Amino acid sequence: MEIIRTVAELEQKTEQLRRQGLSIGLVPTMGALHAGHMSLIARARKENDIVVASVFVNPTQFNNPDDLKTYPRTEKADCKLLEEGGVDIAFIPSVEEIYPEPDTRVFELGPVAEVMEGAMRPGHFNGVAQIVSKLFAMTVPTRAYFGEKDFQQIAVIRKMVELEGFDLEIVPCPICREEDGLALSSRNVRLTPAQRAIAPAIAKTLASSVDWAKDHTVDQTKRFVIDTVNSFPHMNVEYYEIVDGKTMQPIKNWEETKEPVGCITVFCGDVRLIDNIRY
């Protein structure tokens, strides 16, 4: 595996590979890799000649400075996993390399970016659009892989791709879970043992709400999820919305969409966990 730290080198290398007619799969990450990331890499490995994985904790998408400061950084372990996963190029730039000047671009992401994470974390999705558009422009991938845990992020990235006219396939990949159901996340390592023991209640509640939804309204289902998760110690639901899986707009009746998805954010202590479920 080749480790590249500069934009110029990445551009040069990927251009050379494209000229040889090779397909390139890009897996953008912020490091602290776990089995969820490795499933994206395995999929990219299967579907492309060349796999590029980026490891970059993107400061412009953090609206909370403490979250940026405490975000786990584990470069050595990440490189080992990327190598084991069969990655050809690990792109690990510094902040100065990606942002030699502040990125002042504002993306007109529209309604998909205004609700849920967009409402709770102002500027977050614009920061995601900034870094992902830069990575796409540098790498010019054939396909790019994103986990469905960040369900709304995929819709936002699709919108950015449409705005910028990138020609590539966005490949959404299913959520990976611990045996007890907890969605894998780099933030899970920050849970205390007591919080870690409770955290699977999020996924369990979402799963049981699918049955509940069969004979309850959207509002009743939302209430059921929020009240059940909040009844556990350490847990504080920030939001639970049931949305159309494409537009991300909250629905009022089940008949409004063929693809209802419930998206939740919960503070477990001070660790912000997200998850989602299809109805």
Residues of this chain that interact with ligand PAF (CB under 6 A) are: 28-30, 58, 61, 128, 131-132, 150, 153
With respect to ligand PAF, which residue has the nearer C-beta, 132 or 271? 132
Minimum separation from the CB atom of position 145 to ligand PAF (A): 10
Tokens representing 172 are: 């959404």
| 23/46 Cα distance (integer angstroms) | 11
Please, what is the Cα angle at 219 between 216 and 222, to 5 degrees? 95
Buried b (16+ CB within 10 A) or exposed e, 103-132: beeebebeebbebbbbeebeebbbbbbbbb
**For ligand PAF, which is the closer residue by CB, 74 or 257?**
74
The residue among 45, 137, 127 whose CA lies nearest residue 87 is 45
Minimum CB distance to ligand PAF smaller for 27 or for 182: 27
Closest CB 251 distance from ligand PAF, rounded Å: 25
In the chain, alpha helices (H)? 7-19, 35-47, 65-70, 75-84, 95-98, 117-120, 124-139, 151-164, 193-198, 201-214, 218-230
Largest CA distance in the chain: 58
DSSP reduced 3-state for 235: strand
In the complex, least distance from residue 58 CB atom to ligand PAF, rounded to whole angstroms: 4
Least distance in Å: CB of 186 to ligand PAF? 8
CB of 228 to ligand PAF, least distance (A): 27
Which lies closer to ligand PAF via its Cβ, residue 34 or residue 216? 34
Q: What is the DSSP string of 109-166?
A: -GGGGTSTHHHHSTTHHHHHHHHHHHHHHHH--SEEEEEGGGHHHHHHHHHHHHHHT-
Q: Which residues are catalytic?
A: 37
Q: Which is nearer to ligand PAF, 30 or 51 (CB)?
A: 30
